[in-house]
Every structure is written in structure tokens, then in C-alpha cells.
A and B are shown apart, each in its own frame.
Chain A
Amino acid sequence: MKLEGTYIINASKEEVWKAMNDPAILQQAIPGCESLEKISDTQFTAVIKAKIGPVKASFTGEVNLENLNPPHSYTLTGEGKGGLAGFATGSADVSLNEHNDGTELIYLVDAQVGGKIAQIGSRLVGGAAKKLSDKFFSRFAAVINGEEENPE
């Protein structure tokens, strides 16, 4: 499954890049993120609750930052285990460009799901993932911009 999108964030490239490496900001932005711990500069562990169609799961997994090219781009790779619900693996290529209104963020996600999520929710995964991505980046932009966050 592949997803892509573009966001304009009202902040400088350097500010956005910093946020992209700040666990506290990422945790606020990731929907359903219960914890995000930095293990090293390029490695995090995360616990994320997600609901795809009828499947609710708590994913625990690792997130790695690769292909670091500050402050222009990196690749996020992750692998989450959801117990009986299955698993999700994926990568996101994120790149930043200067823009009249701040910074343009472009992402390209390639993700796979397995187990019960695939069995029951395959048809719903694309839509759910798109929704989660949109939510992530809009929150991310809001946090950087210092806007009031409305967690659901």
C-alpha cells in the first residue's frame, strides 16, 4: 500500500526539521501514540493504539530514522506488532522544500499490514492510513505553529 501527500507548514525548514526529530512533538502528533521513547538519535520505541475497521490494536514497535540529510530529508522506517491483531511495517520518505508560506513537506509512505488487520480490514486499511497520515501531519503542523492542539 502506497500513500503520498504534501503539506505546507508555516515555519522554516530548520524548525520543521528539528520538530521532525523531537520525540515530544512526534508523540503529540502521532494519532493514538501512548509513548515514544528515544533510544538513540535515530531510534525510537513507540506504543500506538489504532483502530482499523473493526480491529482495535495496540502496536508496539521500533521507529528508525534513516537516510538522514538534514535539514532536507529522511526516511522513517517502522515495524509494529499488534499481538493477535497482526502487524504493520512500513517506511516513509519525508522531504522538505522551501516554500513561500514556510516549508513544503512531501511524504511517500509504503506500508504493509498482516494478520487480522489484513484479514478483516484490508479494504479499509488504505482509507484508515490516509486518514491517520492526514491527522498526523495536520497535528504536526499545528504543534510547530504553536496552535492549540485538540486531541481526540
Chain B
Amino acid sequence: MPDTGTITSGGIGDAVQRKEDFRFLTGRGTYTDDINRMGQTYAVFVRSPHAHAKIRSVDTSAASQASGVVSILTGADMVADEVGSLICGWNVVDRHGEGHKAPPHPPLAHDTVKHVGDQVAVVIAETLSEAQAAAELVEVDYEVLAANVDTGSALSGPEIHPEAPSNLCYDWILGEEADVDKALANSAHVTELDIINNRLVPNPMEPRAAIGEYDMATGEYTCFSTSQNPHVLRLILCAFVLGIPETKLKVIAPDVGGGFGSKIFCYAEETTCVWASKKIGRPVKWTSTRSEAFLTDAHGRDHVSHVKLGLDANGKFTALKVETIANMGAYLSTFASSVPTYLYATLLAGQYTTPVIFCNTKAVFTNTVAVDAYRGAGRPEATFVVERIVETAARELGVDPAELRRKNFIQPDQFPYDTPVALTYDTGNYEASLDKAMGMIDYAGFPARRAKSEANGKKRGLGISAYIEACGIAPSAVVGSLGAGVGLWESAQVRFNATGSVSVFTGSHSHGQGHETAFAQLAATKLGIPFENVEVVHGDTSKVPMGMGTYGSRSLAVGGSAIDRACDKIIEKGKKVAAHLLEAAVEDIEFADGNFTVAGTDKSKAMEEIVFAAYVPHDYPEGVEPGMDETAFYDPGNFTYPAGTHIAEVEIDEATGVTEIVDWVAVDDFGNVINPMIVEGQVHGGIAQGVGQALLEGTVYDKDSGQLVTGSYMDYCMPRADDLPSFRVDMTTTACTHNPLGVKGCGEAGAIAAPAALINAITDATGAVTVEMPATPERVWRALQENN
């Protein structure tokens, strides 16, 4: 743990229990589905059972006669109302200077359906069961078209959008191909690997839900939603889809039970509920079933890559070439285009000094649900590429994989370090985390442990993953130049009440991250007031001034920094009030531990006294506004770069191919830490998700029919407690150099590091070059047969 000096209860560095857990653990949270509005109706979507089909007709006549039906709306109704297409907010410019292909994405399909689960109509009824029953009666006549679901062959498959010939969304590059080819040609050794990053279904515990409501008296809409970023949802709904001013739509995302990226996006369902609420003049509620979640939540990953790593005679990396096909699904989701480009290729330097890197990403459309950001978003794919090829190179050359990594690490004295893939790492110490992890797992003792396992008929393997990620995507000017349609700042408002309690309004959204606790610790420490006096308010566009939401491990680095800045403004104003009350010059007032003191004296006023004076300004400085309520916007100067080393050790049963994870050490550098317990929890959860990807979770669309055949928990395997070891988690710390808190972000690290560590361990144990994810017992058993 970082040394944070004296820890006060609830201050920065204290592993204080989470404020929100009482309501979550006792079933008292308020989720979107818990909310019911006066006169509410229920929506059930009629979805395509086909992967690709023309809609010949939609017959709603029988359904509209069914009991309780209020309205049935189709794509034609949306066209008539000029409802806009759902948008992608990041325009990726391809290698020829052309913008990506973003074909129309109608919230309700009207001429063709492009994936199983595509919305065709919505049935709105008095009760949910009436809506379900009536939805059964909607007759859609389809002309089935050939389906195209396979990432690797999508470019030559049936065409999905006339706007995107050969199903190509973009053909994008980063780096100089000629330089990389030349360096590879001159390398003493070149390692090549085909790498598949398996497609994942996000599976947050709470499925998506939405309520749209329209107030005829004020002309104002309200959208209750399971969104990770309510302000961005409001922006997209208002400016791009429904064409209403932002003053006329309130988005409220109350308690949200996990998102992992899948709740960043603007989806068809909330759009439809908001639109329909005005049409029928009543609130419209939709709650996803788990089956719908499988079919319609944006999926993650799904890359097919060919990778070449060059090394010189001393084992120094000379060049890296990565060619990737990335599946976008049937439509471009909100940030889909940025994931396999700016969040992926830019991380291909990893922790290493590889001098030249080239990446080509071809993004393709398929008849599958959209693919977009999922915990890590591009960075797990990059780490998997880098750490798999480095490990493979070490094995081919017969050198210690840890030493090969060490030899190529960027050294602490090289920061700030400009990578060949556009990023500038501000700080880090990669050897420190590698050394600590090797010590924790007793790296030197591995051969003895392996021998012992062999004696018991088990294959033992060890896998290292030295990952890096880029969090708190920034700064706005840079991401704007790369195609982002939005700024990536965050806002915070810190409002004292007269009696000394504080409301912190943040544009970051908490859906499991513990912001109500960590942000309160931050504000309490900064303002020198008790932790209990701080309430964090988020998830309501009518309360929080502005926001960009939660994703990419940005909340503390960007949102926390905005809170820090707003607290600075409070302190600055407080100094003016204190100077007046203490009869001193403003420059002589010092603020520490909640007290304003005249420098060099014992004359002092507590924060609470200053705040009271600001709201009851009977004795108050001239020219200073009453009140103590400040807002700040923070636009980071750079990404943050959390990094570290995870080492997994596995034992494999030769007879069954079952992999048991027998040990896992994680040493992460997240910069400064506000609440070590929350951070450790994030690491545990992230690793569990990474283990899920590597061992258990596989999304399968049938190649011929395009049906999602892993559409339930019977066929899609999620990690459970007994799949996981007791993780051993530690940290090293280099503080981020460019944000006021020195923090980096921890939400995605585990999911980024874990798959490569595990597959490196499994390939080490089996002797196979590759075992595809998920490394099921069958695949591992086959690998054992082929290599022994």
C-alpha cells in the first residue's frame, strides 16, 4: 500500500467500508426497475428471430385487439416521426483519409433486420404480461437473407449495408508499415502468432431498463435509465435522435447494478420509451430480460489478429507488426469505432521500448449485435497481443520470459516516454512490479513446484502478464483531433450547506465502483471535514451540472480531479472570508486540516465557521459573494498509465484437461490510492472477469444461421467463486504526474492483465503454442494430446 502518512478515519488512504453497501446488501437500493410512475405502461419489443432478413410486412391487427394493448409502434412510425439514427460518436478516419462507414441504425428497424434480436416493433400495454401476450400476436413476414457472422471471413461474406461495400467499416493504420517491415527483415529472430480475442457478453448483474415519461404541461421528458453516463445519453437523445433541447430532457440513472461498458451506450430501447411516452401520453417502462441482454447488450472484444515481433541477437525487440480484423457487429454502437483503434493500437508498445510499431485494423460489419467497449475496451486486446507474443518469443528463443521482459522494459529514467504509437507515458516503474510479483509467487521455486505436480500426474504452468493501460482518456483537444465527437473532461460541484454538511455533485456515475465512498473520502480530506458530512450526488442531469460519465477507469483520475479543483475554489473563497473575520491579509491565511489560520499565529477559524459566515453574512468581506458552492471542470493533460505484473500459476489434470488456478499474484501501480479496499475489490473483480474470458466465456453465433447459440447461462459460462483462487494483491506506486491527486485508475486492470497471464500459464503447462480462449477442458485436453 502507498504511504499516505497519517490516516484519519474516512480520509484518503483509509480502507473505510463503503457507504453504499448498506442499501445494496440489504436489498434497499433503488434501481430503474424499482421505479414505477403514475399511469405507467409496459413495453415489450418484437425482435427479429433471423440474423439477416428483409421485412416484407408487419401485421399488428390481431395484436392491437389483444387485452390491455395501448399502442403498437413500428419502424414506419419512427420514420414518420423523423426519429434519427442511433449514432457513433467517434469518427475514425481510415488510411485513405476517409471517415468510417456509419450506416443508419434505426431504433426500430423498418426495412431490414441485421441481427438476431434487432427491434422491429414495440407493444405497449397496461401490464407486462399483456404486452408479452400481444407481442406474440404481431406477425412479421420476413424474407430471410444469408447471414454473415464470422469475424475472420466477414469481408468476403454476404453484404450487410449498401453503405459499406465488402462489410468494411474502415481500414485504419497507425505507424509506418515500411519501417516496420524493414526492421522485421533485419531482425535476428521474428516470432509470429495468430491471436483470437474471443467475443464476450457483458452480463452486468442488473439488466438494462428504461422508463420514458412526458409531461404535457411543461413539454419536458424524463428518462430513467441504467446508464453509465446520463449526460451523454441526454446529449445523444436530444441532439441526434429525438431533436429536442437538452433543457427538455432529464436523464436519471439511479442505482445501477454494474455496467462494464455495456451501459455507456445509447440504445434503441430507451430511445423508444422516451419517444413513445409522448405519443401515448403515458410513461413507458421497459426492463430487459436476461435473454434480451444476451441478444442486445453491446458485446465486447472479438478480434482476429496476425502478429509479428522482431528481436535482435541480444533479445531486444526491434519491431512489432499487428494486423487485426475487429468485429463491429451489425451497427456502429456509440463508441465502437474507437475501441480497436485509439484504445488498442496505441497500447501496443506495452511496457517495452519496441522502437517501431505498425498496426492495421480492419473493422467489419457482421450480422451480430454491436460490439463496443467492455471492461478494458481495446486495452485487454492490446495486452493480450503483446504479452502473448513476448511470451512466445521467449519460449522460441529458450530464454527466461521474465528476463526477456526485463531487458526490454522502459526504464524509470526514460519518463516521460514517447512510444511509437502516439502516447506519452508520464511515469512508471515496470521492473519494480515485476520483481515484487516474482518475489511473491516465488518464481525461483517454480521448477520444484512443477516437479511436485508432475509427480501427482498434473501439468503445472506459470504465466506472466506485464500489462499497461491508458485510463482517463484525454485531453479533449487530442481526442477531438482523433475523431471523438465529445470532450472528455469531467465536472464537479461542491456545495456546503450552512450547517457544514457538503454535497459533492459529480458527472461520473457510480454503478458498483464505490464513488459515494471514495469521492467522500477525497472531499473530506481536502476540506478537512468529517467523512460522514459528505454526500456524493450523481446520476441525475437535473442535479449534476454536467458530466461525461464513467468508463475507461476515468472516474477518479478525471472526475476526482474535478472535485479536487472545486474544493480548491472553496478553499480560496474560504480564505477571503477567513481573512476578513481574522482581520488579516488573504495572502497570510493558510488552510490545513479544516482550519484557516493566520500564518505564524494561533488565530484560526474552522471550515464550519467560515461556511456559516458565508451563508449568514452578517459580518462579511465586501465584494465577496455569499454562499459556499463552487463548480469546476477538469480536462486532463494526458491519459494516466496504470501498469503492473500479474503472474498466474495453474495445474492441469492430464486426464480431463481441467485447469485449476493454484496461485495468482497481482502487483499493480495505480498511483496514489484513496481507498485501498475498494481498489483491491476492483482488482479482484477485474481478474475474475479476465479469468472468465480466458477459461469460460465464449460467445458463439452459428455460422450458417447466424443464431446466437450461447444465449443463456446454460451455454454461456460465467466465472464462479470456485473457479478462482484467493488472489494475492499488492502494489507499487509511482504517482501520476499530471493530475492533482497523483491517481491513475484501477477499474479495468484485472480484466486487462488476466487473460494473457492465464493463457501463458496454460501454454506453459501444455507445451502448446496457442490454446484458444476460452481454454475449456476440451481445448486444453486436445492441446495436451497434440503436444505430449
Contacts and interface: CB of A to CB of B under 8 A. Distances in A.
Interface of A: 53, 81, 83-84, 86-87, 112-116, 118-120, 122-123
Given A84-B136, A115-B49, A120 B291 contact: yes
A119 B116 contact: yes
Interface string B117-154: 00000000000000010011101000000000000000
Given A86-B49, A87-B49, A119 B135 contact: no
Contact of B136 (A83, A87, A114): A83
B707 interface: yes
Nearest to A118: B707
A83 B704 CA distance: 22
Interface in B680-716: 702, 704-705, 707-709, 711-712, 714-715
A30 B47 CA distance: 29
B101 interface: no
A53 B709 CA distance: 13
Contacts of B137: 83
User: Which of A53, A86, A115, A119 has the most chain B CB atoms inside 10 A of its CB?
Assistant: A119
B462 interface: no
A113 to B, nearest CB: 7
A2 B202 CA distance: 33
Contact of A116 (B132, B291, B705): B291
A114 B135 contact: no
A80 to B, nearest CB: 11
Contacts of B136: 83-84
B116 A115 contact: yes
Given A86-B49, A119-B711, A122-B709, 9 more contacts: A83-B137, A84-B135, A116-B291, A118-B711, A119-B295, A120-B711, A120-B712, A122-B707, A123-B715
Interface in B253-298: 291, 294-295
Contact of B705 (A83, A118, A123): A118
Contacts of A84: 46, 132, 135-136
B299 interface: no
21 contacts: A81-B139, A83-B135, A83-B136, A83-B137, A84-B46, A87-B49, A112-B704, A113-B707, A114-B707, A115-B47, A116-B291, A118-B116, A118-B702, A118-B707, A118-B711, A119-B712, A120-B712, A120-B714, A122-B702, A122-B709, A123-B714
Contacts of A115: 47, 49-50, 116, 707
B706 to A, nearest CB: 8
A132 B705 CA distance: 22
Nearest to A86: B49
Interface of B: 46-47, 49-50, 116, 132, 135-137, 139, 291, 294-295, 702, 704-705, 707-709, 711-712, 714-715
A83 B116 CA distance: 14
B705 A119 contact: no
Contact of A112 (B46, B705, B708, B712): B705
A114 B709 contact: no
A86 B50 CA distance: 9
Contacts of A113: 707
B50 A114 contact: yes
Given A83-B136, A84-B135, A119-B291, A114 B714 contact: no
Contacts of A116: 49, 291, 711
B291 A118 contact: no
Given A53-B714, A84-B136, A119 B709 contact: yes
Contacts of A122: 702, 707, 709, 711, 715
Nearest to B142: A87
Given A119-B291, A120-B291, A114 B712 contact: no
B244 to A, nearest CB: 32
Nearest to A120: B712
A137 to B, nearest CB: 26
A105 B47 CA distance: 39
B545 to A, nearest CB: 42
Contacts of B712: 119-120
A151 to B, nearest CB: 26
Contacts of A120: 291, 711-712, 714
B594 to A, nearest CB: 57
B182 to A, nearest CB: 49
